[in-house]
Copies of this chain bind each other. A is one copy, B any other.
Amino acid sequence: MIEYRNLKIALLGAGNVGAQVAQLLDEHGDELASRVGAGLELIGIAVRDVDADRTANIDRSLLTTDAESLILSADIVIELMGGIEPARTYILQALHSGADVVTGNKALLALHGPELFEAAEQVGAQLYYEAAAGGAIPIIRPLRDSLAGDRVKRILGIVNGTTNYILDRMDVNGDTLDEALALATDLGYAESDPTADIGGFDAAQKAAILARLAFHSAVPVESVYREGITGVTAEQVEQARRSGYVVKLLAICERVTDPVTGAEGISARVHPALVSRLHPLAAVHGAKNAVFVEAEAAGDLMFYGAGAGGLETASAVLGDLVSAARRHVAGGPGVAESFTAHLPILGIGKVHTRYQITLEVADEPGVLARIANVFSENGVSVEAVQQSAGSRAVSMSSESMSTATLVIVTHESTEAALSATVDALAQHAAVASVTSVMRVEGA
């Protein structure tokens, strides 16, 4: 039996992930110690209320409300409380005391990342956050380290399991959004207030973290363009299937050239998009996540796995804990993050994408030419037009007219031009209604 010195571990938070971390540390502590060359001693778990009911099997004698004393005694602090405060203050206290910090707090990193990384660098400590994007999927180290010698062109990520579960149900089972959401709630995939997921807020936080890593530049979460899935209809999903696409909520981070100045910049955005069924992301079902990375030298890469779940996320936290502990054993300061590229963040209008636009138009001679004209006036080139066989009578203003359905897929253009095209179509005399607008991505 080898005797190791013990590293003191403080855990902040005993929720879903925290409880799993405590339990796995208890079960596999000896095995982890042998990998690290030091014991990993959980010295305490900071909670708001030590007497609260807890279903998890954790040693209650470790519970304390005195987070600050706990932090000061620790070599490594694991923050799994979530939220901005007091998590931010505790992490800063831990770093200033020289402790390494492991966190899964994507909201905090998306909002205060630069402050926290700077604090870590000043004292030579290190901040680990594999659990903050992609859950159990190892994506932080690949982006930060493995691809650090390459130039990332684009990231397309399915980074929210709840919305992927919902969209997959709509695609595979033909559910409506409400039906799929109700099922996701029953199964525990969706919170009772699902806004963070279905509104795209969670995905936007992850997009900010991934874009920062991929492009070595600060990316505030406010700069991430965001649309959720609440507007996605069963008809859109069905029409996507007929056209060889599947609807996915994508977090897209890419290098963009400013169409006016020609300068290089970056863009980060979250929105539903049509993805070809032949693209590897189309095969990501249920609540699984995947991050597809296009790099100049490495080519196309994909990282696939569970994006959430207490046990799965605990795996990422413990991997960070082992890294931090190995570094303590080896000695030497942490390695800083690099934000030195300082690429400007371009607005959504400057992004290049493709639109699939579905229109109800007047069913009369010459209408297609008039519609095509709207696209060319806005500098948008049309790739394909599909006209539905049937037509129907709709009431438009006071008179009624017979209409046909047009599904138009554009070539790539700027979002600004595409958006202007849709506005012009909506006001066009021959257009009864614009029934669907979806971006097409991943080609």
User: B-contacting residues of A (Cβ < 8 Å)?
Assistant: 20, 24, 28, 31-32, 34-37, 124, 130, 136-138, 140-142, 145-151, 216, 280, 283, 295-306, 309, 311-312, 314-323, 326-327, 330-336, 338, 340-341
Given contacts A28-B151, A35-B216, A142-B138, whether A330 and B334 have CB atoms under 8 Å apart is yes
Given contacts A138-B142, A148-B326, A303-B303, 7 further A-B pairs with CB under 8 A are A32-B148, A37-B338, A136-B301, A148-B322, A297-B315, A299-B305, A326-B335
Q: Are B333 and A312 in contact (CB under 8 A)?
A: no
B304 A299 Cβ-Cβ under 8 A:
no
Chain B residues with CB under 8 A of A138: 138, 141-142, 145-147, 301
Query: Once the chains are docked, how many angstroms separate the CA of A313 from the CA of B122?
Result: 35
Q: B309 near A299 (CB under 8 angstroms)?
A: yes
- Complex A-B: 23 CB contacts under 8 Å: A24-B297, A28-B149, A32-B148, A34-B340, A36-B338, A37-B338, A136-B295, A138-B141, A138-B146, A141-B145, A147-B315, A148-B319, A148-B323, A150-B315, A283-B283, A295-B315, A298-B315, A299-B311, A300-B305, A302-B304, A326-B335, A327-B335, A330-B335
Copies of the polypeptide in the assembly: 2
Question: Complex formed: what's the CA distance from A340 to B317 in Å?
Answer: 21
A298 touches B312 (CB 8 A): yes
Return the 10 tightest CB-CB contacts between A and B, nearest first. Answer: A332-B332, A149-B318, A138-B146, A138-B142, A298-B315, A297-B315, A301-B305, A148-B322, A136-B298, A302-B304
Chain B, Cβ-Cβ closest to A146: B138
* Contact in complex: A149, B298 (CB < 8 Å): no
**Most chain-B Cβ atoms within 10 A of its Cβ — which of A124, A330, A331, A333?**
A330
Closest CB-CB distance, A292 to chain B, in whole Å?
9
Contact B327 A311 (CB under 8 A): no
Whole-angstrom distance between the alpha carbons of A140 and B141 in the complex? Answer: 10
Verify A280–B304 contact, CB threshold 8 A.
yes
| Chain B residues closer than 8 Å to A141, beta-carbon distance | 138, 141-142, 145-146
**What is the minimal beta-carbon distance from A39 to any residue of chain B, in angstroms?**
13
Contact residues in B for A303 (Cβ distance below 8 Å): 301-304
Shortest CB-to-CB span from A417 to chain B, Å, is 31
Cross-chain contact B319 with A149 (CB below 8 angstroms): yes
Most chain B CB inside 10 Å of its own CB: which residue of A37, A124, A148, A323: A148
Shortest Cβ distance from residue A7 to the other chain B in the assembled complex, whole angstroms: 13
Asked whether B136 lies within 8 Å of A322 as measured between CB atoms, the reply is no
Instruction: Output the least CB separation between A17 and chain B (Å).
Output: 11
Asked if A312 and B335 make an inter-chain contact with CB atoms under 8 angstroms apart, the answer reads no
Other-chain residue from B34, B148, B301, B322 in contact with A149 (beta carbon distance below 8 A): B322
Chain B residues, CB < 8 A from A20: 297
User: CA–CA, A323 to B336, complex, Å?
Assistant: 11
CB < 8 Å: which of B37, B302, B330 contacts A305?
Answer: B302
Is A151 in contact with B316, judged by CB distance below 8 angstroms? no
Evaluate contact between B295 and A300: CB separation under 8 angstroms.
Answer: no
Known: A331-B333, A332-B332, A333-B330. A149 touches B315 (CB 8 A): yes
Residue from B24, B140, B145, B341 in contact with A319 in the complex, judged by beta carbons closer than 8 Å: B145
By beta carbon, the residue of chain B nearest A306 is: B299
Residue A32 contacts which of B149, B305, B320, B321 (CB distance < 8 angstroms)?
B149
**A358 vs chain B, min Cβ distance (A):** 30
Contact A302 B299 (CB under 8 A): no
Nearest CB of B to A360, in Å: 37
CA distance A306 to B300 in the complex (A): 7
Cα–Cα, bound, A295→B305 (Å): 11
Name the residue on B nearest A296 (C-beta). B315
B residues in contact with A335, CB < 8 Å? 326-327, 330
